[in-house]
Structure formats: C-alpha cells, structure tokens
Structure 1
Amino acid sequence: MRPVPPRSDLERLSEGQTLYPVGLTITEAAALNASQLVKAVPDELGWRVTAEYWVGTVARGDLVVRVAPKIGAVQVLRLLAMADGASDLAIDDERVEVADDADLSAVLARMFVLEAERALAAGPLRGYRSEDQTLPVLRGRLRLRDQYLRRFGQLSPLEVTVDEWTIDTAENRLIRSAALALLALPGLTGAVEADLRRVDRMLVEAERLVPGVSTPAWQPTRLNARLHALLGLANLTLRHVSVESTAGEMVVHGFRVNMAHLFERLMARLLADVDPAWSAQVTLPLDHRQTLVIRPDLVRDDGTGWTGVADTKYKILDDAGKVSNADIYQVVTYCARLGLTIGHLIYADGGTPPPVYEVVGTDAAIAVHRIDLTALPGDLRAQVSALAVTLGPTTVTQPCGR
C-alpha cells in the first residue's frame, strides 16, 4: 500500500509539485481550493494536492500550505516591485539575510521590518488632514453653505473645516495596515513579530484600513521621502495578503502570488517603459456578430492601428525548445484578427529561442522569445529593452477594425 505522506509535507511544496495521497477533510480541501494556492482533488487513497502557478503561503487553523517559487522568494518580490512600478524599492539579498528556502511571507515580513526600522527611526511622519466638524465655537474655516442649509440661520453649533496635525495620514494608515496584515501570516519568527507589533504601537493613532477597500492615495513629496520604499512594501503587502472566510468557520490567511499573472504584468510594465505604444489586455470581438472575443496579453497601437501582438507564457520549453501547438494556434488567431504578418510568444525561461514558425496557409509567422526571470533588475530591463526592438512595429496585411 502506498505510504501516506505527513500533512507537514504541505509546508514544503514547490511550484508544479504534486503530493499524494494527503489526508484532508472535505472542509479543508474546499478551503485550499478556494485559496487558489493549490488544487485538491479527491482520489482513491486520499486527496491529490497540486501546486501549479501560485506561490506563497495559506493557513487554515493548524493546516499550513507553502509553495516555494522556482526562482526564489527574494526574486519574486523583486519582480513584484518592478511589476507594480515601485522604483524606490531595492531588494538586497544580503540585507534581508534569510535562508534560500524561506517562504514569501517570511521574506516580505523581514524586508518590511528592516525598512520600517530605517524609515521610522526619527518617529512617525505627521501631516495635516482636513476634516469637516460640527463645533460649538469657531475653529478652522466656516462652511457657509452647510451652515445655512443645516442650521437655518442659527449661530451655534458651527459647521467648520479643520486642518488637523496628526499621525492619522494616508501614509501611516498604509504602513500600519500592512504591519497588521503581516502579523496574521504563519511562520513569522519571534523577532519579526515583535518588530511588527512595535510598528503597530508607534502608529496606533492611524486608522486601520478595512480589508477589501481601496487603499488611500498618497503623493511622493520631499517631506515623506524617507517613507517611499516602506510605502512600496506596504502597497505590495496589502495587494497580495488576503484574509478570507471560506468553507467552514475557520479564517484562511495567506500571501499568494499568481506567477503567470505576475509575468504578464511585468512584461506589460517593462515594455511600456521602453515603448509606450504597448498596452495590456485589450478585448476585441473576433467574429462579425461579436459573439466571440479575443484578449491578447500585449498589443501595440501607435495611433495608426494595431502594429504588434504578443502573448506571455509562464512555461518552460523542453530541451528542444518546442512550443505547444495550442500556443501557436492562439497567436495565429490574434494575427488574423489584427491583420499582422508576425506574432510573438514570450516565455518565462532563459535560453536560445527556436526559429520562427511560418504557418502554412496563412500570412502569419510566430516568433518565440525567452526571458530569464532569474536575472537582476538591471539585466532584466536590458532583456526587455532588446525585446522591444524586436517586437515592433509589424507589417499590417489588411485594415484591422476595432
């Protein structure tokens, strides 16, 4: 009989790995499926748990599942920062000082407390915040219209707008909320947890953001310059940390990243930095009745029409560099719809690309490109800059409708 691996093995999964058989309750399996980090499917001897494109950590009660990224947790956070446009956020392996196999939650929390220690060394940043108040005496600026409409000529109380000098600013709300979100994650060391609680106490006057509500906007200025990197980490944290009530009464906590989506967003951001004519996720009708649609990952429009199309694939090609038929079919369809003579496939692995595929019976050729996601930010930007020259503009074979 096949031995049943211990549940603790779920804390040591890698991208693309399958663990079977696993002892789970139906409620636990439903919670894990809802988290999207892994897929749990019932089988003869137990549950088959597969890690696909998601990496990170989720916890439901005493059940913890971790999926380690192939490229390492620190590199994933670098890519997230680049994809989110956090140019002030530099991630140094030596400064973070975590083990190579550390999970994303541990690395992010460690980075956060290190940056918070530096950014908040001089104390929390205060700022003015305008508030509408009703007061018995005049303070601030009188709102004449509200006074007339609400008080009907009465002289008291007064409707005023007051500029408060306070810690409860958009910046501090973001930082405190991120610290509290990180505290909910499993696997934190005692030292990191203590540092996160210290940040919470320092900013206790700042209102905690409600989960699911859009984060407040803040403007980079000279006054908040010391917080820029920390605010980048706070935004990154709040974007990817989730607290969910799923199957059962237990709450699921998690920090998860969809690597396929990350690769797509990263390519869109870096390509647009080089050539602003590129944009992401444009939905177009495929047939005349507009019952079918296409949604290429990347399209180029320089104002004269569609001049380029590309699709990102978070896949590793085989040793021969062979591309799947389905990937080719997809881009051929994009070329036919947009009237282009060449389309592009961008894969998330380094190496030599295969020759261009010239598709029989069409005017389309499909070029394959390979991006090394293990490269440092400067090298990665150089790869994409060279790619941008190759990608466009492209010859148009026919007028392409919108």
Structure 2
Amino acid sequence: MNRHSDLEALREGQVLESVALTRDEAAALNSTDLVTVQPGADGWRVTAAHTVGAIRCGDLVIRVRPKIGALQVLRLLARAHGVAGLKVDELLIGVAEDPDITAVLALLFAEEASTAMAAGPMRGYRTEEQTLSVLRGRLRLRDQELRRFGRLVPLEVTVDEWTTDTDENRRIRAACRRLLLFADAPQSTRDRLAHLDRLLADVWLVPRGALLAPWTPSRLNTRLHRLLHLADLVLDQATVEHRVGTVEVHGFVLSMAWLFERLIQQLLTEASGMVRVMAQHPRPLDIQARLTIKPDLEFTDGARVVAVADTKYKLLDEQGKFPNADAYQLVTYCARLGLKVGHLIYAAGEPRPEPFDIDGAEIRLIIHSVDLQQPVANLESQVETLFDNIVTATEQQSSHWRS
C-alpha cells in the first residue's frame, strides 16, 4: 500500500497503485483534472496523465511535476501569454532540486513585486457612485430626483477617487492571495508575499469566483507590466477551488496539452503576419448541425480558411508513426473545410519526412514536431519554419490538385 506522501512526488504520466483514500478524497481528486482515481484490487489507482501542478485536497497534498521541468513550463506559459523575454534565473530558484510550478511562480512573483513596488503601489483615478451628506464630485440629477424626491440631502454624486484601489492593484493582490493559499514556497518567499498583501491592504479583494476587470498596458502602468503578466499566469490558469463532500480542494492545475496548443497558436500568430490564426472555432459537421468540429488551429486570409492544423501533446514513436485516430480527425477537418492538405503538430519526436496521401480523398497529411525542451528562442525559430512549411505546402497542393 502506497503512502499519502507518495502523492507529493508524482511525475507527469506516472501511475501509482494501491493508494489508501476515502471515497470523498477519491471523488475530490477526480474533480480536479490533475489526476484520475479508479478503484483497484487493493486501494485506489492514481494516474497522473498530462496535467501538472499542485493541489491540497483536505489533508492531502498532490503534486505532479512536468517532464520538461517546472522552469521550462513557466517560460513556455509566459510565452504562450505573449510575454517575450521572461528571465528565469535558475540560480535564483533555490526552493528545491526539482521545484514544483507554484513554488517557482511564487518566487518569481515576489521578486518582480519587490522591483515594481519599490516606489509604493501605483495610484490612479477610480470613478465611483456615492451617497454623501455634502456635495463632492458631480451631482447625478436624475438619481437625486428619483431616489430623494426633491430632498436636498443625502446627495447622489459621482466621485473620481485618487486611490490605490485600481484594476491593476486588484489583480496583483488577487494573485498574491492565490499564491499564499496554495504555493509551497520557502518561508522567506511567503513572508515577501504577505508583505505585498499588507502593502495593498486598501485594495478591494475581489470575492472568489468574481471576474476581475482586465488590465490594459499603458505608459502610466509601465513599471507594473511584468508583474501584471505574472499575475495573469497565476489567475488565468485552471485554478481549483471547490468542495466535494467533506473535502475542500484548492490548488493550481495546468493542462500541458492546452499549454502546447496555446503556445503554438501564439507563436504562429506572431509569425503569420496577415494570415489570421483561430483556435477551437466550432463549426457544424452535418447539414442539420447536430455534429460539430473544433479544429485546434485554422488559418484564414480574411475571406476563407486556407489551412488547418491539429496540435497533439504526444510523442511520435521511433518510426515517426502516430495513432490512426489523429489522422481520421484531421481528414474530417479537411473534408469539412474543403482543404486538400492538413497538418499534425506533435510535441516531440522525429516525424517521417514523406506526407500521407489519403486514398480516395485527395487529402494530404503532413506531420511536424516541436521540441518543448529547447530554449524559447529555438522554439520560436522552429515555429517560424513550421509556418513557412504550412504556407509552402498549401501553395503546392493547391496548384497540384488543380493540375
């Protein structure tokens, strides 16, 4: 029987047999998407597939570490959000020999906050509607008439407050609180996060589940840009917070398949210029619109779809082969979109150089791979070459099938 402590050191793709769990704990873990739990002959079987992160499930702590390392995942996650040049000093990450994502993210966030907040929190104007006994700001005449029926006080006014309670600071404080909740960072890092939280004590803390207002880069908030991007990484991922039975669950969960798709989309968008790249755009498959398809990536020239691609967070085998189901899916996409060529993009492995010409369909499948373990600059070069290959294949096949 495996101990609960074994759940704290899972690797991506690992299966742990014979784990002692209660039914509530098993149900709670299954609801997180971090691991799947199934009953076994002796205890429970816990499977960590292609989702990484760390969660607290009651008294349990479950960590799944990525194959490519937590630092590389954070670099790719930042790049997928359009943050170029995020510097992750490996000497700075002294949290563990093999740190988990939340610990590294907490340390990066605390480091950036020390720089961004050196001159104190940024202030800005926030427009608020208030009810006051004296005139301040602008009187809302219509509200005054409808609510006060001619009385002079209280007054319904609109006030522009010069305050630290800005959208940017709300986002930063929410991310700080989230990291304090579930990041297993060193105590020194947690102390720095707690100091940041106290520094923003006058900033409204958005209730759990409420949507935060988006932030817009500007000259006024330049010094906060990198910190806000890191806050986005904390808040925009699949953050788990719920209760199953008697078990409360919270944590940080990241799908590597989603990360791979988002990263490829971002880099292809930057490389594509005038060609627009759309992700997961639903389309009806049958005439009655009872079936739908959602290709991972579509390339449009503004008037029509010119290419389609599917990203697969899988490894090609030693012969460069891939599952037949991947081919069936892409052939369907090509047939529905009226395309003669489709592209499969894998996370690693050496693809076979020759394409697959589908018999009876006049459709060609081309296989590509992108190595996620490479430095970000190399990844960008790989995806630029990938886009050039997609364009070339589209032009060649269009002329080939016409002739």
CA RMSD of aligned residues (A): 1.8
State the Cα distance separating 1:187 from its structure 2 match.
Answer: 2.3
Which of 247, 261, 266 matches 2:263? 266
- Give the corresponding residue for 2:344: 345
- Give the corresponding residue for 2:219: 222
Q: Is 1:159 matched up with 2:153?
A: no
- Give the corresponding residue for 1:383: 382
Q: 1:134 to 1:62 in 2, by over 3 A?
A: same
Partner amino acid for 2:289?
A: Q
Contact 1:88 1:232 in 2 (8 A): no
Structure 2 stretches lacking a partner, 5+ long = none
- Give the corresponding residue for 1:123: 120
| Structure 1: distance between partners of 2:375 and 2:147 | 60
State the aligned residue count.
394
Partner amino acid for 1:9?
A: D
Contact 2:24 2:246 in 1 (8 A): no
| Structure 2: distance between partners of 1:88 and 1:214 | 28
- Give the corresponding residue for 1:327: 326
State the Cα distance separating 1:306 from its structure 2 match.
Answer: 1.8
| Structure 1: distance between partners of 2:201 and 2:44 | 44
| Structure 2: distance between partners of 1:43 and 1:113 | 42
| Structure 2: distance between partners of 1:266 and 1:121 | 32
Cα deviations by residue, 1:28-80 (Å, 9 ceiling, x for unpaired): 11111011100110011111110001100111122111100011111111111
Partner amino acid for 2:259?
A: L
Partner amino acid for 1:177?
A: A
- Give the corresponding residue for 1:27: 24
Question: Structure 1 vs Structure 2: percent identity of aligned residues?
Answer: 51
- Give the corresponding residue for 2:102: 105
Q: Is 1:290 matched up with 2:289?
A: yes
State the Cα distance separating 1:97 from its structure 2 match.
Answer: 4.0
- Give the corresponding residue for 1:136: 133
Structure 1 stretches lacking a partner, 5+ long = 398-402
Q: 1:147 to 1:112 in 2, by over 3 A?
A: same
Q: 3-state SS of the aligned residue for 1:242?
A: strand
Give TM-score, length-normalised by structure 1: 0.93
**What are the equivalent positions in structure 2 for 1:4-83 lying under 5 Å apart?**
4-83=1-80
Q: 1:88 to 1:152 in 2, by over 3 A?
A: farther
Contact 2:318 2:350 in 1 (8 A): no
Contact 1:89 1:233 in 2 (8 A): no
| Structure 1: distance between partners of 2:191 and 2:26 | 32
Contact 2:358 2:364 in 1 (8 A): yes
| Structure 2: distance between partners of 1:290 and 1:217 | 34
| Structure 1: distance between partners of 2:131 and 2:24 | 50
Q: 1:361 to 1:100 in 2, by over 3 A?
A: farther
| Structure 2: distance between partners of 1:85 and 1:320 | 34
**What are the equivalent positions in structure 2 for 1:176-215 lying under 5 Å apart?**
176-185=173-182, 187-215=184-212
State the Cα distance separating 1:350 from its structure 2 match.
Answer: 4.9
- Give the corresponding residue for 2:302: 303
